[in-house]
Structure 1
Amino acid sequence: MDSKSLIIDIATMLFQQKGFKGVGLNEILKACNLSKGSLYHHFPNGKEELLIACLQSLNEAITKDIEEVFKRYPTTQEATNAIIEKLIVKYETEGTIEGYTFSSMVSEMATLSDPIRNACYQLYQNVQQIFSTKLIADGFSKETAHSIALMMNASIEGGLMLCLTQKASEPLRVVAEVLPNLLKGY
């Protein structure tokens, strides 16, 4: 793995665990076993530029994962259940959901930095577009599909946060149980 990818991978993990403000550059460098010069070579504008690269990396990984799952299932309901079950298993086996949520970074930095807010917004938009496209294929109108996709995204992201705060997978289980009922209501 090249040094830039290493920095992004380790910084992403640390940012998810401790938040943007809770992680110093020295901690990232120590975990990577690299010098400051290496970091600034790849990220000349420092920590904020690194966070944006981490968010873009998360965006690619999460989007790819969701797209792959949604391609395997014929309906939005089945695909959504598969995604949520995957998240539940990840939480129950690892005790965390790193790599799938970045809400802590959004809440911490979105009002302070437009580039960070935009990077977060792009991920949410990508996920909603995957949901929306599948909903349209299921026969929903474009407008309804966009509304449901937003609700699905908010429900799953909220469920992830509640799992972490409650130290239990129950919130995602409830989301998995209730979302199909919302789909039937339209």
Structure 2
Amino acid sequence: MDTKSMIIDITTTLFQQKGYKGVGVNEILKVCNISKGSFYHHFPNGKEEALIACLQSMSDAVTSDIEDIFNRYPTTQEATKKMIEKVIGIFEREGTITSCTFISIVSEMGSLSDPVRKTCEDLYLKMQRIYSTKLVADGFSKETANSIAVMMNASIEGGIMICLTEKTSEPLKIISRLLPNLLKKG
């Protein structure tokens, strides 16, 4: 793995665990075992540029995983249930779900810059497009599918945050039981 990828991987984990504000450049340098010059060689604009790289890396991983699941199952209902069950499994195995969401990083959104906000917006829109495309294939109008996709994103992301807060997978289990029923064409 090259140095920049290593920095992104380690920094992503730090941001997920402590939030953007909770991680300083010196901590990144120490944990990555690199010099300040090496960090700024890869991220000349500093920590915020590293954050954007982390979010883009997470975006690729998260959306690829969602696309894979949604391509494997014939309906949005089945795909959604399987996706949430996968997240529950990760939580129950690891005691956290930070690898499946970037909400722990962006919870400080109000204080972050427009480029960071835009990067996060792009990820949410990618996820919503995956959901919406599947919903249209299930027979929903494009307008209804887009609205349901926003609700799905909000439910799942909110459920992840509640799981992390309560240290239990029960909120996602409830969403896994109820959300697919709301996705029936009727």
d(CA) in 2 for partners of 1:182, 1:109: 30
Q: Tell me if the contact between 2:138 and 2:185 (Cα under 8 Å) persists in the aligned partners.
A: no
Q: Which moved more, 1:29-38 or 1:110-119?
A: 110-119
Q: Tell me if the contact between 1:76 and 1:135 (Cα under 8 Å) persists in the aligned partners.
A: yes
SS at match of 1:140: coil
Q: Which amino acid aligns with 1:93?
A: R
Q: Which amino acid aligns with 2:48?
A: E
Aligned counterpart, 2:16: 16
The equivalences for 1:9-88 within 5 A come to 9-88=9-88
SS at match of 2:67: helix
Aligned counterpart, 1:125: 125
Gaps of 5+ in 2: none
d(CA) in 1 for partners of 2:106, 2:185: 31
Q: Deviations along 1:11-49, whole A, 9 cap, x unmatched?
A: 000000000111111111111111111110000000000
Q: How far did 1:111 drift?
A: 4.3
Q: How far did 1:183 drift?
A: 1.5
Q: Deviations along 1:111-142, whole A, 9 cap, x unmatched?
A: 43100100100110000000000000000000
**CA RMSD after TM alignment:** 1.1
Q: Tell me if the contact between 2:139 and 2:185 (Cα under 8 Å) persists in the aligned partners.
A: no
The equivalences for 1:116-155 within 5 A come to 116-155=116-155
SS at match of 1:34: coil
Is 1:7 paired with 2:2? no
Q: How far did 1:185 drift?
A: 6.7
Gaps of 5+ in 1: none
d(CA) in 2 for partners of 1:100, 1:170: 16
Q: Tell me if the contact between 2:128 and 2:146 (Cα under 8 Å) persists in the aligned partners.
A: yes
Q: Which amino acid aligns with 2:23?
A: V
Q: Which amino acid aligns with 1:53?
A: A
Identity, % of aligned positions? 69
Q: Deviations along 1:31-86, whole A, 9 cap, x unmatched?
A: 11111111100000000000000000000000001001111100001110110000
Q: Tell me if the contact between 1:111 and 1:117 (Cα under 8 Å) persists in the aligned partners.
A: no
d(CA) in 1 for partners of 2:113, 2:168: 32
Q: Which moved more, 1:98-107 or 1:131-140?
A: 98-107
Q: Tell me if the contact between 1:91 and 1:169 (Cα under 8 Å) persists in the aligned partners.
A: yes
Q: Tell me if the contact between 1:110 and 1:116 (Cα under 8 Å) persists in the aligned partners.
A: no
Q: Relative contact order (C-alpha < 8 Å, sep 6+): which is higher?
A: 2
Q: Which amino acid aligns with 1:153?
A: N
d(CA) in 2 for partners of 1:45, 1:110: 20
Q: Tell me if the contact between 2:55 and 2:119 (Cα under 8 Å) persists in the aligned partners.
A: yes
Q: Tell me if the contact between 2:20 and 2:106 (Cα under 8 Å) persists in the aligned partners.
A: no
